[in-house]
Amino acid sequence: MAIITTPLKLESFNNRFGAKILTPHTRVRATIYPQPNDLVFRGRSMEKIVGSWIAEESPDITVRSMRWQKQLGTASGQWTVVLKEKPKGKSSMVDGTILPDDWVEIEMMRNGVIFPICTGIVKTAFRRQTTVGGATVTLWDMTGVDHGGLAEFPITFQNLFLRTLSELVKGLFTERIRGKIGGSPAEMFEVLIRATFSPGTQTSPWTLPPSLRARHQQSVTGFLDLLKLQLDETRGAYHNEIKLWTQPGENLYQAIKDWCNPLLNEFIWDVDPDSGIPTATIRERPFPLTEHGLDSPWFDMPMTEIPKWAVKDVQVGRSSAERFNLFQLVADPGLGLTDSEQIASSPPLWSRKSIEQFGIRSMQEKTKYIQFGDDEQQGGWIEERDRQQTAIRDWHALNPWFLSGTIPVPWAAPEVRVGTRLRLTEGNESTDETYYVEGVGLDYTASEGASAPHRAQSTFSVTRGWRGSDTSLITALLDVTGEFQRAI
């Protein structure tokens, strides 16, 4: 069993006057990559570093503030950046320097370590003037999304639908349409993404500015050539594919969500923390399973450790709102079996003890995923249904005992990403708390005074928190799930 941890990369933990404090040095850089051949502002082909930690890179403008928000279950993260120009006559920023749909890379440096925040697109750029201390200050207010925003643009699916009629039926989808039901869902996801972003027989609508391609040493123009796909093939086969072709106007995010098994899967748009390359990850939820115990994917996920003494105002608790004591899973009617027939062949899982105490709290779901591989026989669904039902039970049986809420951190922690683990530790595994990060928020504000430190903080939305060792988590899971049996 491999435990992957990210050390807290801060300059020091200082002890002044008997108190432990943090002294991180934080800066933000934004690099704008203009789209070439703009209708009005021609020749915008080179990147523009508009805010940096190195004065020589951007002598005329600084990042005054930055906010970054990312939530699991959404394609795009949201960011806002406020830029401050140098006094009049000293700035090279002019109207048209930044335009909507320009690409941007936002990075954060903390104590000499550079963390990529996002690669995305400018949605709005407003230039304004204000008065600070009697002096006129020119500011740029920018908002935008990360690369996941492309999956949410309505034109994405319309483009997919139209190209299907003209060229995809001749290429990518030929084998898919003529093939039989079943197969690898990862192939389906990759076909959808490639159909949207790849050039096909004509130029891709998602071209990158030359300077951004050069930044990642890409020789081609399509966004797909930059995107790093990470697809999981362990989710079973899909059934009843007609819906995809009867709803033009959906975006790529909705289309993939239709094909993802909502009970088992999650997908994340993020940047690789090492290379900064945009990624699209589709995976089975990596939570503990009784079948695998300490070898479950949960215990191999990246984890950031933060000392408990450094964190204040933590708001976490437990709730019975998601208590489930009966799990029932059936396939959609396209399979040819009624719900009653499926339940009779594979009864739901229930905990009589919990039902007697709390009443029935059922999780009843339907799914298009029915089997593995190319097996078209309905008998394959029975085994697959048992596996999926057991996994759902393992993931949700401990819900009333899990901690969830928000954890604020009084410094910038950009290494904590959505879909990873966060551990609050005091050196005792019996009291350590381990969480699943479902949302991240970074706030950065530059100081006006040269001697004052720049301010930054992080806020994490966390779930599945467990106080105790990994072994105690598995022990509790086995105890609770051991109360479940097939309902006859």
Condensed to tens digits (0 to 9), the pLDDT of residues 410-455 reads 899 999 999 999 999 988 999 999 999 999 999 999 877 656 668 8
| 293 part of a folded domain | no
pLDDT of residue 341: 75
pLDDT band, very low/low/confident/very high, at 120 (cuts 50, 70, 90) = very high
- Which of 179-193, 361-375, 461-475 is modeled with the greatest confidence? 461-475
Q: What does the pLDDT look like over 167-192, one tens digit per residue? A: 444 444 434 433 334 456 677 677 77
- Cα–Cα nearest to 276, from 220, 212, 221: 212
Query: Do 43 and 127 belong to one domain?
Result: yes
- pLDDT score of 256: 77
What is the reported pLDDT for 322? 86
| Tokens linked to 146 | 């990360």
| Among the ranges given (127-131, 301-305, 404-408, 430-434), the one the predictor scored with the smallest mean pLDDT | 127-131
Percentage of the residues of the chain whose pLDDT score is greater than 70: 75
| Same domain (yes/no): 19, 138 | yes
Residues 253, 343: one domain?
no
User: Which pTM does this prediction carry?
Assistant: 0.88
The packing angle between helices 154-166 and 185-197, to 10°, is: 90
Q: What is the mean pLDDT of the chain?
A: 80
- Amino acid 218: pLDDT: 65
CATH number of the domain enclosing 463: 2.30.110.50
The answer to whether residues 196 and 140 belong to one domain is no
Is 408 within 8 Å of 458 (Cβ atoms)?
A: yes
Regarding whether 241 and 348 lie in a shared domain, the answer is no
Q: Assess whether pLDDT exceeds 90 at residue 482.
A: yes
Q: Which residue has the tokens 């399509």?
A: 222
Report whether pLDDT(35) > 60.
yes
How confident is the model over 265-304, as pLDDT tens digits? 888 999 998 888 999 998 889 999 999 999 999 999 999 9
The total number of structural domains that make up the chain: 3
pLDDT band at residue 229, thresholds of 50, 70 and 90? confident
Q: What is the CA radius of gyration of the chain?
A: 25
Answer yes or no: do 383 and 428 share one domain: no
Question: 391 with 421, same domain?
Answer: no
Is 480 part of any domain?
A: no
Q: pLDDT at position 230, please? A: 87
Greater confidence, 43 or 326?
326
Same domain, 375 and 415: no
Domain-embedded: residue 295 = no
* Nearby residues of 462 by Cβ (< 8 Å), 6 or more positions away: 316, 403, 404, 405, 406, 407, 422, 435, 436, 437, 438
Helical H runs in 279-378?
339-345, 352-358
Residue 297 covered by a domain? no
- The conformational region for residue 391 under phi > 0 = left, psi -120 to 50 = alpha, else beta, is alpha
Same domain, 346 and 467: no
Same domain for 245 and 162? yes
Contact 383, 342 (CB under 8 A): no
pLDDT at 480 over 80: yes
Question: In the predicted model, is pLDDT for residue 225 greater than 60?
Answer: yes
86 shares its domain with 12: yes
Count of beta carbons in the 10 Å neighbourhood of residue 291: 11
Count Cα neighbours of 378 within 13 Å in the Cβ-side half-sphere. Answer: 13
Indicate whether 165 pLDDT > 70: no
Domain that holds residue 140: 5-149+402-472
Rounded to an integer, the average pLDDT of 357-372 is 80
Identify whether 37 is part of a domain.
yes
Q: Is residue 221 domain-resident?
A: yes
Q: What is the pLDDT of residues 49-95, one digit of tens each?
A: 888 777 677 667 889 999 999 999 899 999 999 998 877 656 667 77
φ/ψ (deg, to 5) at 436: -105, 125
pLDDT at position 306 is: 92
Within-domain flag for 310: no
State yes or no: pLDDT of 375 exceeds 70: no
Q: Do 379 and 416 reside in the same domain of the chain?
A: no
Q: Is the dihedral of CA 202, 204, 210, 216 positive or negative?
A: negative
Measured CA to CA, the distance from residue 161 to residue 247 in angstroms comes to 9
Tokens encoding 413: 């922690």
Per the CB < 8 A criterion, the answer to whether 399 and 364 are in contact is no
Q: Residue 204 has what pLDDT?
A: 58
Residue 309, in any domain of the structure: no
Residue 398 has pLDDT above 70, yes or no: yes
Q: Which amino acid is at 234?
A: T
